Structure 1
């Protein structure tokens, strides 16, 4: 079994059912395979050793989302021909993986260095995938229930290989995208009132091209709290906080390996439990988290990965 790639793309998702909270983390092995490691409340962490989600171009993006209490999971990746692929998991504990419509019936191409993000039905009325094209423009794909089509074409141009982190608040019909602009500054755009607007996210620090950026959103009613995790040029995992009082600055959390990516989630079934997955050392993925949105600590030095 091939070991995890250092600087591997990372994706994470969470769902809840009658057995509690569940977390799925996706990463890439050195042979290009997309692997899954998972957490279940009643069993803890384990590696899905028999499952290979797909085989992707090395260092290209992974995205994942889930809904219907985890009976529907989607994982997106880019194959060696730069095609955006979709794998579907259906059926809960007794389910299995198969190719989705995006793989079978379409041929949408991304830049070879593109990262990916997706928004699922748990967050939005429409399933959406975000990627970077060969002109370095961010692009959106939208699923209309039977086929995929190009979505909003007004998204900005990003630095090549920019992280892409898309989130939505279903109750408010608001979407956010976090990325790096052409000057390598981490940026936020927000879809509200029918159009995209520049947001106020501006973390302190210096960021290398393709720096890890991932946002988690929670809240109720008209309030949305955001925790945006990033990896700075000095190999530090950082968090920038937004509450109903506005942006509250950037805080250093811990060290990472060079070029570590990060994947952030809110644990399903909780109001504020936030978890971030990153590489603290070669060959491993660590978990950092907060249960109140303010105080952060190391949760796991290493979750299970192939080695």
Structure 2
């Protein structure tokens, strides 16, 4: 059984929408959809074929209608984009520049609006274990190269906090395990800075981060990781108090091995709403952990 991947996105446009992307044993990546007033579909929408065990990352932006981008490794181990727009549906997008990409890489992606273009950043691991950024502004190019060495095969995750800060510079974070296994946070707010969070997840555990601003403009970050017992655990950051470490387990249910991928989304309704998606050792079994005035879980059976 391969270690399959998972990615999740959400947006508001005439109601709430959720999409979850995952690979099945046939090598194809599928989409499951939840729409307000409809609920979940069957999760049987087949999109494209990828290398077995492909990493996945997904973004969505909504100028007037949703535009979705899914990033993966194709069967030739090339970093590829698959795109959706309501005007044409799904189709193959760009092949991204990805020099020295390692086949065991994870992927992370983040996007923001910077007139006149949508900005996209994709992150992958190189063969020397460092992390590489790929930039979309008016076209794709190789971006910033991080000098620090990450743990080989580390999970990657990115989360945006503020879209526009100064001169359209966003504030976002990228997370991965460094070579000694500690979880590192790399912050962009016009320039890069980083810090060690002084927490060491199980090697190659799934990592997924979400972030939001409250009504007072304070930043909040949640990182969800798999642990050795197969639980999902949470690290929390709340401005101005900072990080709360060690983590806690939101729902005491064993959902997967520690290497199972984790995908998380968050939005604000009456309070903060969080959904976490974990793929177990069977590709036909995704568990959704739900935070809505308390934690619960349900098995989605796709």
Judge same fold: TM > 0.5, yes or no. Answer: yes
Contact 1:284 1:303 in 2 (8 A): yes
The CA deviation at 1:6 is 6.3
Partners of 1:122 and 1:289 in 2: how far apart? 29
Partners of 1:30 and 1:236 in 2: how far apart? 23
Q: Secondary structure at the match of 2:41?
A: strand
| Corresponding residue number in structure 1 for 2:175 | 178
| Corresponding residue number in structure 2 for 1:85 | 80
Gap regions ≥5 residues in structure 1:
none
Partners of 2:65 and 2:94 in 1: how far apart? 19
In structure 2, the CA distance between the partners of 1:155 and 1:291, relative to structure 1 (3 Å rule), is farther
What is the aligned residue count?
A: 287
| Corresponding residue number in structure 2 for 1:43 | 38
Partners of 1:288 and 1:48 in 2: how far apart? 17
The CA deviation at 1:9 is 0.7
- TM-score, reference length from structure 2: 0.86
Is 1:9 matched up with 2:5?
Answer: yes
What do the CA deviations read for 1:113-160 (whole angstroms, capped 9, x no partner)?
A: 111111123699621111111111111100122x21011113532111
The CA deviation at 1:190 is 1.4
Bigger RCO (CA 8 Å, 6+ sep): 1
The CA deviation at 1:277 is 0.5
Contact 1:21 1:269 in 2 (8 A): no
Contact 2:27 2:50 in 1 (8 A): yes
Partners of 2:265 and 2:147 in 1: how far apart? 24
The CA deviation at 1:70 is 5.2
Partners of 2:221 and 2:61 in 1: how far apart? 21
| Corresponding residue number in structure 2 for 1:296 | 295
The CA deviation at 1:174 is 1.3
Partners of 1:108 and 1:188 in 2: how far apart? 23
- TM-score, reference length from structure 1: 0.85
Q: Secondary structure at the match of 2:71?
A: strand
Is 1:142 matched up with 2:135?
Answer: yes
Comparing 171-180 and 59-68, the one that deviates more: 171-180
Partners of 1:304 and 1:269 in 2: how far apart? 26
Give the root-mean-square deviation of aligned CA atoms: 2.5
| Corresponding residue number in structure 1 for 2:242 | 246
Partners of 1:56 and 1:277 in 2: how far apart? 20
Q: Secondary structure at the match of 2:8?
A: strand
| Corresponding residue number in structure 2 for 1:190 | 187
Gap regions ≥5 residues in structure 2:
none
The CA deviation at 1:63 is 0.5
The CA deviation at 1:109 is 5.8
1:1-307 aligned within 5 A: 7-18=3-14, 20-49=15-44, 51-68=45-62, 71-91=66-86, 95-102=88-95, 110-121=101-112, 126-145=119-138, 147-154=139-146, 156-169=148-161, 170-172=163-165, 173-198=170-195, 201-203=197-199, 207-220=201-214, 222-244=217-239, 245-249=241-245, 250-253=247-250, 254=252, 255-258=254-257, 259-267=259-267, 272-279=272-279, 282=282, 283-291=284-292, 295-298=294-297, 300=298, 302-305=299-302
In structure 2, the CA distance between the partners of 1:70 and 1:133, relative to structure 1 (3 Å rule), is farther
Q: Which structure dedicates a bigger proportion of its chain to strand?
A: 2
Partners of 2:68 and 2:276 in 1: how far apart? 20
Partners of 1:34 and 1:109 in 2: how far apart? 24
